[in-house]
Amino acid sequence: MLRQIGPLRLRDLRFLGLVAFTGLAIALYLGTGLHMAARAGSGWRVLDSDALMRRIETGELRDREAD
C-alpha cells in the first residue's frame, strides 16, 4: 500500500507544478498585455481631461452633448 502512495504523490506534485507554471505564464502574459495597452498610442482611447475642461469652460461643450 505504501508503494502506491509514493509515486501517486510525486505524480500529483508534478501535475500541481504544471498547473502553477501555466497559471504563472498566463498571469505574466496578461500583465504584459495590460502594460502595453496602457501606453499612449496603443490604440486605446485616452481621455484628455485638460482639453475637455478647457472646452467646457469656454462654452464649446454644452449640456446637450452630454445628454
CA 29 to chain centre: 9
pLDDT band at 13 (very low <50, low <70, confident <90, very high): confident
Q: Is 41 left (phi over 0), alpha (psi -120 to 50) or beta?
A: left
Q: Which of 4-8, 9-13, 49-53 is predicted least confidently? A: 4-8
Tally of structural domains, the chain: 1
Domain hosting 38: range is 2-66
pLDDT tens-digit map of 20-67 = 999 999 999 999 888 877 776 666 666 788 888 888 888 887 766 555
Residue of 17, 39, 35, 37 whose CA lies nearest to 27:
35
